[in-house]
Amino acid sequence: MHYSDRMERSRRAPGVRRAEILRVLRTRQAATVEELCTLLNASPATIRRDLLALEGNDGLERSRGGAVVPLLREAEQNFAQREALDAEEKRAIADAIVPRLVPASTLFLNDGSTVMAIAKSIVGSGIELFIATPAVNVAATLAESPFITACLLGGFVRQTSLATSGPFAEAMAGQINADLAILSPDGLHPEQGMTFVNAQDAALARRMAEQARRVIVVVTRPKMMSVARVSGLPIKAIHQLVVGCALADVPVALRQSGPEIISCVEA
C-alpha cells in the first residue's frame, strides 16, 4: 500500500480521529456534527459514533447537534491552543517521520504539540515500537495502540507542559538504549543549536540524544533561527532535521549548518 494511502487510512482510524475531535473541542469548547464532518472528512454517522464513544470520557458531553467540553485545566487549554498553531506543518512533519521508522525499534520522544502530532500518526500507522517519553499526554495517546509499548519516564510532572522532568526522568532515560531520538526544541539556531525554555527539558533532551544511535530534530518555521533560554544540543549532534515547510523556506544558515534536512512540502 502506498504511504499516502496508508496515512489517509490512519487518519480514519478511530483512535486518531477521536483524538482530533477532542483537540478541536478543547480549542473551541464546542462543535457541531457538521463542523466535525468537514474538519475530519468523515460522515455524520461516523462522527456520531465517535461522540458516543467519547461521551463521559475526557469531560466530553454531547449536545443537540454536536458536543461540548467543560472548561479545562489551564495546562490542557494551553496545550490545545499550541496544537492549533501551525497545525498543518505539524501534520506534515508527522507524515514525514512515520515512514522512516523501523518496526520493532526503540524510540525516544520528548514533549510538545509537534511530538503529539507524531504520536497520533504513529498510533494510526500500526507500527510495532517501544517508545519512551516524558510527556504524560503523549504516553496516553501511544497507549491506545496495541502495537506500541509506551514507557513513561518517571519524574516531577510540570503543570505547564504535562511532562515529567528532573533527575529521576534523566536516570530512567539513561537505562534505555534507543535506536532513535526524535526531539522537538523550543528554538533551533545554527550557532546555539537546540535550545529550550526550561533547563530540565534541555538536560533530558541531551540525555536522550546520548542514549540514541541517531537524533532527528523536528521544527516548525517559527522555531527556526530562534534562541530560547537554555542550550540543549549543538547542531552537530543532529543527524536529520525534519521541517513542515518547503526547503526554500528554511533559512540559508540552517541549510548550511550540517544536518540533512527533510521536507515533505513541495516548493
What integer pLDDT is reported at residue 122 of this predicted model? 95
Q: Report residue 167 as a C-alpha cell.
A: 533527575
For the chain, where do the domains classified as CATH 1.10.10.10 start and end? 3-72
What integer pLDDT is reported at residue 253 of this predicted model? 96
* Burial letters 254-267, b for 16+ CB under 10 A, else e: beebebeebbbbee
Check whether domain 85-265 has CATH 3.40.50.1360, yes or no: yes
Q: How far is CA 25 from the centre of its chain?
A: 18
Q: What is the block-wise mean pLDDT of the chain (267 residues), using blocks of 10 residues?
A: 41 74 77 90 91 75 74 60 81 93 98 94 94 95 94 88 91 97 97 95 97 97 95 96 93 95 81
Q: Is 48 exposed, middle or buried (0-12, 13-18, 19+ CB in 10 A)?
A: middle
Residue 111 near residue 162 (C-beta atoms within 8 A): yes
3-72 CATH choice from 3.40.50.10420, 1.10.10.10, 3.40.50.2300, 2.60.120.560: 1.10.10.10
For the chain, where do the domains classified as CATH 3.40.50.1360 start and end? 85-265
DSSP state of 64: T
Rounded CA-CA distance 167/171 in Å is: 6
* Burial letters 63-98, b for 16+ CB under 10 A, else e: eeebbebeebeebbebbbebbeebbebbbbbbbbbb
Q: What is the model's pTM?
A: 0.75
Rounded CA-CA distance 49/56 in Å is: 13
What integer pLDDT is reported at residue 80 of this predicted model? 67
